[in-house]
Structure 1
Amino acid sequence: MVVDPGMRIQMPNVSDEWKNCVFCSLIYVMKMLWKTYGIAVVTGANKGIGLEICRQLASKGVLVVLTARDEERGLEAVKSLRVSGFSEVVFHQLDVMDELSVDSLANFIRNQFGRLDILVNNAGITGTEIKEDDWKKLRFGDEDIIGVNAASQRKLVKQTYEMSISCLRTNYYGVKHLTEALIPILERSNSARIVNVSSSLGKLKYIPNEKTKKMLGDVDGLTEEKVEELVEEFLEDFKNDLLETKRWPTLFSAYTVSKAAQNAYARILAKKYPKIAINAVCPGFTCTDINNNTGSVTTEEAARGPVMLALMPDHQRPSGCFFFQTEMSTFE
């Protein structure tokens, strides 16, 4: 079932009455599926892990709203799922950095379905430029990220202030603004879940500054205001070339801070909304075009953790936790 962002169905050479009948029938079928299996929104879903999450959710009978910035690519993704036999997937354009786009999606979900059961915040960027061959040289052990090899690794990774702004706007503020817009609709569900596709690079051990690490690890004292102050301080220090002086991460700097902030936000929300299961999950170093297909984890394997958290039975579901793939881990 491929439906465009306005739920318009193109049916030339037939009467308006017939068009309206078919349109109403499609909406009726979708709403019946929603009542039976639930409805999910997946961001950044036209390819890679996001597309595979949509595939796996649809295979379990969930009606999926696949979102992407590029409408043409999003519709192609829906078409590919339909060809594979997954018809209960619809597309809606979404740019998480665009307030109007976020509002448009929220209005669409509210008006067409009345509630939302699952939100998977998958859209994200690295905030870097890395040459194709250099991806093969990068290593991601602790000694490579924060240890003796970090200096040589930094030579392979280009980071600019502008890239850092885009990274934080997408990975942190984008997640925050979309989640805020959809929480009122999620609260209408009897079993709502929010899954943030995060990264182990956002773990606190990759934050060299002890004061910052302590603040992010103090779950009882965490507030959205504190997290945003941290993000803005990082950007200011990046702009003034003070990352090493202020002991910020120096490799994948913005990405690490964005994921640490995203993780902190998930913990804050889990306390604020106890009826919604809210968790973060690292899918592993996945073979996608974001890393020039150098990852060792397949998209099918990477999607299992987010899908598990999205569909976990109520009596088992955790909240405010961090998972590595399908296993519970820690934020530290």
Structure 2
Amino acid sequence: MAKAKEVTAWYLERYHGSPDDVGVVTMFTDPGRVGHFAVPLASLEAEDPDALFRVLVATTMFQRRQDVQIMRVLRGIGPGDVDQLTSAATLLASAESCGCEASLSLEGILTRCDLRKDDFRQGTCDLAPSVACLPKRHAVLLKRYGHFGKVPTALALNLKAHGATDLAALRRGCIKATGSPEAAAECLENALCKSWRVSDKISAMYLSMLANPDLWPGRAPWADGLDWTRWVVIDSNVDLFLDWLGYDGFGTYAARRGFICSVASKIDLTSMKGGLQKFNPRIVQQAGFLFMSAANRRSTGRDCSKEDGACGRCPRVISRACPLKR
């Protein structure tokens, strides 16, 4: 696994723990990157319900478009709109009072709500077209697919469906209801994935930033009681990394996650950078993601492609695979 080890070393030297790392907790505390969706690190560490929910809403945006584009969308949303998009209490109150039966439950918004955008790019539906619900407004604000406007309300309804007052309570409930960190991690992941547009990737991205000790500047507040090694974030860039490593297995998320864990088990991170866990699949995955992510790398001055003669320092095995040299 020489390729994976060299890429991991590249990431640890260039990006790990830096302000330019992508999809980790420091990104969601930086207004310069995510605008008014940013929350103080101390609020997350204290498990502030509003901060945890705000970051979850923002995290769901990072799918099927380049990260730099999503960050631009997030920065373009004003503070009042962000407050509405990310307040579970506001979302639930509106869902209960707006006059649409589909908004009264998670099942309803998942199966009955037919939200979309009309020809004028405004939110509309066939079930209750005259109702001025928040999902219709959010379909416009979030600048994604029309049905993406259901995301914030569905997240709030998902907490209600699980009998949880907030996301920290959801975590505690999974730990209490299961008998091991592995089972608790699977329980929490499955609970999040019951919401609209929350996939294995999105749940792993969110949960790993709160639980993975090597992605948190200090001690991750959710590290205890959960098997944080379970959560790796697989997207198109990671698939490029896996293909380069020679992965030819099944295309399921679980199979690709298993392959990354197998690769990571052969890389001793403690020998590469002080303070890291010996085994951490999320770090190896993050290394592959950033190495293959040309758009993210071009957007920062930290990248080695911006330095004269830097390419000559990389081992040939990874230099030939660099997407910025193709």
More strand by percentage: 1
The TM-score normalised by the length of structure 1 is 0.29
More helix by percentage: 2
The TM-score normalised by the length of structure 2 is 0.29
